[in-house]
């Protein structure tokens, strides 16, 4: 009887670890890909293509946009972590 309870807890912990790792990998990929994509897309398409800015000006503003994207991703990650943490605390209190 006790052995099955331990197995259930281990299975639950394994699922939790996999869920957290998936979330971490998702935000890591976003942190790597989105700022780079934002930089080049905004520089080539938006700033130089649509607004006809000079190459030097477009470098500066594209970098600012990429930094803004990094901060947005960080805020989203922190919000997700807080929600996840508060959900864990509620489960602990119920038991």
> What is the spatial distance between Cα 4 and Cα 61, in angstroms, rounded to a whole number?
59
Could you read off the pLDDT tens digit of each residue along the chain, which spans 95 residues? Answer: 566 888 888 888 999 999 999 999 999 999 999 999 999 999 999 999 999 999 999 999 999 999 999 999 999 999 999 998 876 655 555 55
pLDDT confidence of residue 8: 86
What are the percentages of helix, strand and coil residues in the chain, rounded to 5? 95, 0, 5
CB contact burial 53-75 (16+ within 10 A = b; e otherwise): beeeebeeebeebbeebeeebee
- Put simply, whether the predicted model's pTM sits higher than 0.85 gets the answer no
Give the pLDDT score at 19: 92
Strand residues in the chain grouped as ranges (E): none
Domain ranges of the chain: 22-90
Check if the beta carbon of residue 31 is closer than 8 Å to that of residue 70: yes
What's the confidence (pLDDT) of residue 85?
A: 81
Residue 37, both tokens: 């994509």
């Amino acid at each position: 009887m006790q052995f099955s309870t331990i197995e259930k807890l281990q299975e639950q912990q394994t699922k939790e670890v996999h869920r957290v790792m998936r979330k971490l990998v998702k935000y890591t990929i976003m942190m790597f890909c989105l700022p780079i994509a934002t930089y080049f897309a905004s520089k080539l398409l938006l700033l130089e293509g649509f607004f006809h800015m000079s190459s030097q000006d477009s470098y500066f503003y594209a970098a600012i946009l990429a930094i803004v994207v990094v901060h947005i991703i960080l805020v989203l990650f922190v919000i997700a972590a807080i929600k996840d943490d508060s959900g864990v605390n509620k489960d602990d209190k119920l038991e």
